[in-house]
Amino acid sequence: MEELSADECSRLLATQEIGRLAVNAEHHPLVFPVNYAVDGTTIVIRTAPGTKLAAADHANVTFEVDEIDRRTRSGWSVLVRGVAEEVGPGHRADLVARTEATGVQPWAPGEHGRWLRLIPTSVTGRRIVPGELPPAVDPRAYL
């Protein structure tokens, strides 16, 4: 397993459009798939009003993106820790415009109109190189 550099994490984050937002709510760390885009170092997420948004706003959250190939058993995972903030009328117009210009679509129909910015405090990642893992089928099963 290889730890990824900050630059590599940034590059990988820009290659995907679906990640998972984790927030603390209802006594659990809840995880939701979301669409996202990257604006500089900030993660822009679009979501509906509700549990996610209420729990995320001004809270410590994480955002996870990965790409894993089940066949070759290789892949990578990046975890962004940070603070989330809902973008609203209290923000500068240019920030609102820049956020909306990312064009992030809601993950689910009916999830409209609310934008979250996740300001990272740390970004870490790791990569699994093919061949490092044992084969999915354990040959000992045939002995």
Binding site for a copy of itself (CB under 8 A): 1, 17-18, 20, 22-24, 26-33, 60-62, 64, 66, 68, 70, 75, 77, 79, 81, 103, 105-111, 126, 128, 132-134, 136, 138, 141
Nearest residue to 36 (alpha-carbon basis) of 96, 117, 91, 112: 117
Q: Shortest distance, CB of residue 77 to a copy of itself, whole angstroms? A: 5
Nearer to a copy of itself by C-beta: 41 or 77? 77
CB 83 within 8 A of CB 89: no
Nearer to a copy of itself, 6 or 108 (CB): 108
- Tell me the closest approach of the beta carbon of residue 93 to a copy of itself, in angstroms: 20
Shorter beta-carbon distance to a copy of itself: residue 78 or 90: 78
The amino acid occupying position 15 is T
Which residue number, 92 or 138, has a Cβ lying nearer to a copy of itself? 138
Buried b (16+ CB within 10 A) or exposed e, 38-77: eeeebbbbbbbeeebbebbbeeebbbebeeeeeeebbebb
Placement of tokens 């994480």 in the chain? 62
Residue 37 has phi, psi (to 5 degrees) of: -145, 165
